[in-house]
Amino acid sequence: MDRVVADASVLVKIFLNEEYSDQAIELRDAYVSGRIAMFEPSLVIYEILNAIRYTNTRKFTIEQLKTVIQSLHQYQFSTAEINYEFAAKSAEISLKYGISIYDAAYIALAQATGSEFYTADDRLIKAVGLRFVKHIKNFKIR
């Protein structure tokens, strides 16, 4: 079974109608149907909520945000809690590639789980140049 880590730039597209939303929904559906395993750092929910909260495309009410939270909990992603080892590896990756600790956490998790990492962040992909870091537009189930 394929293993996947997807960052908030991808998962937010499940809830917002944006470019590559179809691929994000396809990824979610593959996970929900058991065709892929999916891993997320525990911070992902906060990143998604923050992106939705500050989106320019529309204003979300508290009830809509609660619905997003409920949906995310129902997906039951395998989440990695932030411990010393995980935080230290994230810091190492952040400094090595000049990226945020947040972005580095996803990469550290993908490395630890042997996963492909999907993002919608072209700058991140270019900054790290790692084969397992891919754009969501290229998501395909093997």
We report the CATH number of the domain holding residue 48 as 3.40.50
Instruction: Say how many domains are in the chain.
Output: 1
Ramachandran angles phi, psi of 3, nearest 5°: -115, 135
pLDDT score for 26 = 96
Q: Does 6 have pLDDT greater than 80?
A: yes
Let me know if residue 28 belongs to a domain: yes
Let me know if residue 70 belongs to a domain: yes
Q: Does 79 have pLDDT greater than 90?
A: no
* pLDDT tens digits, one per residue of 7-28: 999 999 999 989 999 999 999 9
Containing structural domain, residue 65: 2-81+114-138
Let me know if residue 102 belongs to a domain: no
Let me know if residue 97 belongs to a domain: no
Query: What is the CA angle 9-15-18, rounded to 5?
Result: 60
Let me know if residue 107 belongs to a domain: no
**109-129 average pLDDT score:** 96
Let me know if residue 11 belongs to a domain: yes
pLDDT band of 63, cuts 50, 70, 90: very high
Euclidean distance between CA atoms 80 and 114, whole angstroms? 14
Confidence (pTM) = 0.92
Ramachandran angles phi, psi of 133, nearest 5°: -95, 115
**124-132 average pLDDT score:** 97
pLDDT score for 58 = 75
